[in-house]
């Protein structure tokens, strides 16, 4: 099976812009989670989707949003970008809760 894929791999945006990141889970996986990884804060949970429903949300401002499509592909959107949003954004997929979660390669977002 193909692994988790994310596009784009790299992005450079300026403050105030918005960005959309995409994640395609492993075939058959219905749960997709998003994480922000920074050197200072480690891996922080953003949200999780299962069958197009957001089931869990981390402590991030409303500028961070996401959605999941019927084919389990997921997108996350960040509006009004701030310098502090520069990070590696990772998505991970799993069959369901409480079981193995597999990460994609990440999208490195740089906000200038």
Interface ranges with other proteins (CB under 8 A): 31, 33, 35, 42-45, 48, 50, 55-56, 58, 90, 94, 97-106
Short-list 83, 80, 71, CA closest to 109 = 83
No. of helices (H) and no. of strands (E), the chain: 0, 11
Nearer to other proteins, 18 or 43 (CB): 43
State how far the Cα of 93 lies from the Cα of 112, in Å rounded to an integer: 30
User: Residue 84 Cβ, how far from other proteins at the closest point, in Å?
Assistant: 18
Q: For other proteins, which is the closer residue by CB, 44 or 79? A: 44
Query: Considering the complex, what minimum distance in angstroms separates the CB of residue 48 from other proteins?
Result: 4
Judge contact between 96 and 33, C-beta under 8 A: no
């Amino acid at each position: 099976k193909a692994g988790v894929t994310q596009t784009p791999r790299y992005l450079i945006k300026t403050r105030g812009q918005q960005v959309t990141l995409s994640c395609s889970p492993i075939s058959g996986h219905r749960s997709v989670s998003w994480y922000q990884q920074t050197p200072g804060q480690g891996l922080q949970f953003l949200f999780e989707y299962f069958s197009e429903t957001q089931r869990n949300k981390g402590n991030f401002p409303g500028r961070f949003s996401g959605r999941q499509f019927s084919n389990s592909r997921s997108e996350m959107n960040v509006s009004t970008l701030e310098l502090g949003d520069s990070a590696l954004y990772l998505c991970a997929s799993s069959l369901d809760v409480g079981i193995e979660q597999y990460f994609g390669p990440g999208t490195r977002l740089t906000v200038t």
